[in-house]
Structure 1
Amino acid sequence: MKGVDVRVKFDHKIRDWDGFGFNYVETAQTPDYKEFPQEYGGFSLLDENEKSEIIDLIFGEDGLKVGLVKMFYDPFHQNESGGTYDHETTTKNMREFVRKGLAETRDRGADLDIITTLYGPPAYMTLQKVIRGRDLDPAHQEDLADYLVSWVKFLREQEGFPVNYVSLHNEGEDWDRWPWDGKDPNIGRGHDYNLYYTPELVNEMMILTNKKLKDAGLNDVGVTPGETSNWYRFSYWGYADAIAENDAAVDAIGLITSHGFFNGNYATRWFSDHNCMGTELIREKRPAMHSWVTSTSWSKMDTKNIKEMHDNIYSARVNGIIPWAGIQRPEQWVGGDPNPGSAFTVHEDGTYEIRRGYYFYKQITRAGQPGAMVCRTTSNETQLPVIAFGKGNSNGTDAFVVTNMSDRWNKPCVITITGTNATEFKAFRTNEAETEKYAEIGTFKVEDGKLVYEAPAGTVTTFFANE
């Protein structure tokens, strides 16, 4: 038999897998919520039937079956130090989305793992005293930690959400988003909320927030060091080193997080790869520490995007992935979203569409269920990356994903499979031509430990073990 030599090694387990996720973004940019009550996710335009359809497509038994959810925490929940918190006004639609998604997930006997991320602090906590002020006022570090804890308590106690992690910042490492003197808040057009975090501030706030969580009885909620724009920056801008060299920070961290955006152009400051150096530095001190991608591009919603997912799993060595906003209302993003790919688009007339990104994402989310194990794969064709998940403790099966990134050539494959008792695999496929959208294409037999398959150009195919 001739073809690409692919090896899927279910008997070579690499790490635990926490799952794939979804992110509903509501209030992300507006400097004045009363003037512009931004609602980027679009749920506010949909009727109950449409909402139910989307929830089922994401969380349902026949949908994406995601296990992770990210919830942003905007700057409008408190106006002054010691003031009352309003956790409801700016988060109504996001909370409804998560509430419905959690119910759907539990109806099928599973659960969610939720992380909430500080999008930016209230204006009074910054030195500039404006929304999106660059610098945290040191006098308000305690206020910021209390701000984080109050939101977690609200979500857990009032909403009953399984919030297990709180993240300090959203791309707060990027000092170039503000003028050097920090006087102009530079909200700009198209910028979402930020606060500038040095590596030292990350450590201080992570240690303080961890203490505040424990003081509040939230011992099972972990704090993360925030979310750099990409793994390169986490690894080489000093953030991972600062944590690894500080014993108190090593003790305080509950989860490693970063965005996983990729840019292969060395000539731009936005260069980014799927670097694992920072994660491995911390894992030297905390070997069992998990790592999540908490935002990453849908790119062109194609096979190359699945390769980005492959690299986050095998190169950045993560335990979970949550892409950038999966449901988007484009008219609400100031200046046009720089990452416009998604699973769903909500239109201003109250209709929605399922985009190609949904079907490509479905190819990997159903394979990588929470509790699965990432397994080793090889392929001697660069345009044919392979992802494998062993069943582990998940409610799924042994599964593997074959991606053909070529836009011209089919790729015949001889796939050697070890470490499973399965003698046949059921396959589903999505293609870039959009003539196949997670379409069942048949059952493939394993004979003498090998499965033969010709992967069409521009396709992602997922194989599930028949048990």
Structure 2
Amino acid sequence: MVKAYVDFQKKLQQWDGFGVNYVETAQTPDYTVDPQDYGGFSLLTDEDRKNILNLIFSEEGLKPCIIKMFLDPFHQPTIPPQEYSKSLDDVDLSLYEHTETTRWMRYFAKEGLKITRQRNADLDIITTLYGPPAWMTKQKILRGRDLDPSHRINCAKYMVSWARYLRDIENLPVKYISLHNEGEDYHRWPYDGSGSNLGTGHDYNMYWPAEQVVDFIKLVRDILNKQGMNDMGVAPGETTNWYRFSDWGYAYAIADDRDAVDKLGIITSHGFFNPNYGNFYGDHRSLGNDIIREKKPSLHSWVTSTSWSKMDAKFVNEIRDNIYCAKTNAIIPWACIQRPVKWLGGDPNPGTAFKVYEDGTYSVEPGYYFYKQVCRAGQQGMAVAAVSATDSTIGLIGFSANNTDNPNALVVINISEEQKAIDIGINGNHNNIFFAYRTSCEEKYQYIGSINVEDNILKYCAPPQSVTTFYEGEDCK
């Protein structure tokens, strides 16, 4: 018998919610020749697009709280006047083309926001620089490795202009600007920086050494303030995993600069996991968060991309690790809608919620149902609750209602090949009835009935490779 425990009164950190990411322009070297739409909405009928949007954002859907939106390299084809390039005071939207390469990503965000607000909820948006225009790099090529220092201000304005456009023109609630996408990984270029490696399976990137990240946290914050965008925060970019954020020097560099710490709005990283020691090793350590929070304890931390793994119980267990081991406040998996043929060489993270095919059809993937087990349970404003289990194949995620209108929720993960009998001790609940929903190899977020808590114990047999979500006193279909 496995002994497990959740204490809804013991709150470890505030929870900002789960998120989704529509990826549109990610790899194409020439948008006019190859107008890439990796999310695939351009192939679908209006009815199918709306069906997917409802499966994600509606009351019966995933109910995400966050959207991530990329900024690709094609928004400013020409170099602006020298005076503009040197001034922090002016961000002129007429110098940018923010619509051509972002049609379906903007549609996804605007329609998703509309559906979300219809159920009296809201979204937060984080934008991430995928890569700057070629002329901003030393190499003067698309996906050039190094930023040209003479375009330092132009690069910062590029990010601010996109966020301002989304907020002021599209009326989207942008909350954070993130500086880079896996910009720590200099191994993606020749060591002399002579080529782009574009066309070898990589998406857009630029190399972001730690000192450049520190500089841009302060620079982007200053430009935002001059634009009256004081409520929009700056994120330090997104290393590939939490190990690299700390052990490759990024967290220490930020923490050692008091001005950067003061101007940092949130901590971000990708949360990809690789247990094999070597150059691609990655884990869910909290060291980077701990280093910076020692200087600024109020900072929240978001995972802004992570693998869907094999779209099974272990995928949800990786989410659990990102929450409890890295001490994060939100998680956004990698692209939730994928058009497989549009990723050169095949997406290295092919798991997802939906796939779109070249004949204009789509499928709902197992990842959708496994993600639904946690995404609906952990809503904005809730808190992560303390949990434990005496079997390492059993993982728990607890979400405390934390004075929101959401019910206390408990997610039970069984990654083993065997059924597991579990006695779950529960503290901090107000009702002794929990409604349960389960995803497994045979079930797709299936309602399995209500379970009574007796003598503060919830008795449950978890099927092999299953994820079960218990909602206190509320039938949350």
Query: Structure 1 unaligned runs (5+)?
Result: none
Distance in 2 (alpha carbons) for counterparts of 1:284 and 1:80: 43
One-letter amino acid of the counterpart of residue 439, structure 1: Q
Per-residue Cα deviation, 1:302-355 (whole angstroms, up to 9, x for no partner): 111111000000000000000000000011111110000000001111111100
Contact 2:432/2:453 (<8 A) preserved: yes
One-letter amino acid of the counterpart of residue 362, structure 1: K
Q: Say yes or no: does 1:306 pair with 2:316.
A: yes
Per-residue Cα deviation, 1:384-406 (whole angstroms, up to 9, x for no partner): 01000001144421000001101
Q: Say yes or no: does 1:461 pair with 2:468.
A: yes
Cα gap change, 1:38 to 1:237, in 2 (>3 Å): same
Q: How does 1:175-186 map to 2 (within 5 A)?
A: 175-186=186-197
Distance in 2 (alpha carbons) for counterparts of 1:356 and 1:168: 32
The aligned residue for residue 385 of structure 2 is 375
From 84, 100, 103, give the equivalent of 1:89.
100
Per-residue Cα deviation, 1:108-153 (whole angstroms, up to 9, x for no partner): 0000010000000000100000110000000000001111111011
One-letter amino acid of the counterpart of residue 438, structure 2: R
Distance in 2 (alpha carbons) for counterparts of 1:10 and 1:186: 49
Distance in 2 (alpha carbons) for counterparts of 1:188 and 1:76: 17
The aligned residue for residue 340 of structure 1 is 350
From 254, 277, 280, give the equivalent of 2:265.
254
Per-residue Cα deviation, 1:403-453 (whole angstroms, up to 9, x for no partner): 11012x11000010001111110000000x2x2100000100011111100
Distance in 2 (alpha carbons) for counterparts of 1:252 and 1:260: 23
- Percent sequence identity over matched residues? 55
Per-residue Cα deviation, 1:146-183 (whole angstroms, up to 9, x for no partner): 11111011000110000000000000000111111111
Contact 2:178/2:235 (<8 A) preserved: yes
Per-residue Cα deviation, 1:200-251 (whole angstroms, up to 9, x for no partner): 0001111100100111111000011100000000010000000000011101
Q: Across the two proteins, how many residue pairs are aligned to each other?
A: 461
From 255, 259, 265, give the equivalent of 2:276.
265
Q: How does 1:41-60 map to 2 (within 5 A)?
A: 41-60=39-58
Distance in 1 (alpha carbons) for counterparts of 2:177 and 2:405: 27
**TM-score, normalising length from structure 2?**
0.96
Contact 1:105/1:111 (<8 A) preserved: yes
One-letter amino acid of the counterpart of residue 416, structure 1: G
Distance in 2 (alpha carbons) for counterparts of 1:442 and 1:66: 24
From 227, 251, 255, give the equivalent of 1:244.
255
Q: Say yes or no: does 1:117 pair with 2:128.
A: yes
Distance in 2 (alpha carbons) for counterparts of 1:422 and 1:13: 18
From 8, 12, 16, give the equivalent of 1:18.
16
- Deviation at 1:185? 1.6
Q: Say yes or no: does 1:439 pair with 2:437.
A: no
One-letter amino acid of the counterpart of residue 316, structure 1: A
The aligned residue for residue 307 of structure 2 is 297
- Deviation at 1:48? 1.2
Q: Say yes or no: does 1:76 pair with 2:79.
A: no
Distance in 2 (alpha carbons) for counterparts of 1:180 and 1:393: 53
Distance in 1 (alpha carbons) for counterparts of 2:61 and 2:230: 33
Distance in 1 (alpha carbons) for counterparts of 2:162 and 2:132: 12
Q: How does 1:314-393 map to 2 (within 5 A)?
A: 314-393=324-403
- Deviation at 1:464? 0.2
Per-residue Cα deviation, 1:90-109 (whole angstroms, up to 9, x for no partner): 00000001110000000000
Contact 1:369/1:394 (<8 A) preserved: no
The aligned residue for residue 245 of structure 2 is 234
Distance in 2 (alpha carbons) for counterparts of 1:337 and 1:74: 18
The aligned residue for residue 421 of structure 1 is 430
Distance in 2 (alpha carbons) for counterparts of 1:325 and 1:60: 19
From 148, 152, 159, give the equivalent of 1:141.
152
Per-residue Cα deviation, 1:19-60 (whole angstroms, up to 9, x for no partner): 000000000011111111111001101111111111111010
The aligned residue for residue 89 of structure 2 is none
Contact 1:164/1:222 (<8 A) preserved: yes
Distance in 2 (alpha carbons) for counterparts of 1:169 and 1:336: 23
The aligned residue for residue 61 of structure 2 is 63
Aligned-CA RMSD value: 0.8
Query: Structure 2 unaligned runs (5+)?
Result: 82-94
**TM-score, normalising length from structure 1?**
0.98
Per-residue Cα deviation, 1:239-277 (whole angstroms, up to 9, x for no partner): 0000000011101111100000000011x3111000110
Contact 1:430/1:439 (<8 A) preserved: yes
One-letter amino acid of the counterpart of residue 438, structure 1: Y
Distance in 1 (alpha carbons) for counterparts of 2:34 and 2:199: 15
From 430, 434, 452, give the equivalent of 2:439.
430
- Deviation at 1:80? 2.2
Contact 2:337/2:353 (<8 A) preserved: yes
Distance in 2 (alpha carbons) for counterparts of 1:383 and 1:67: 29
Contact 1:169/1:194 (<8 A) preserved: yes
Distance in 2 (alpha carbons) for counterparts of 1:21 and 1:233: 22
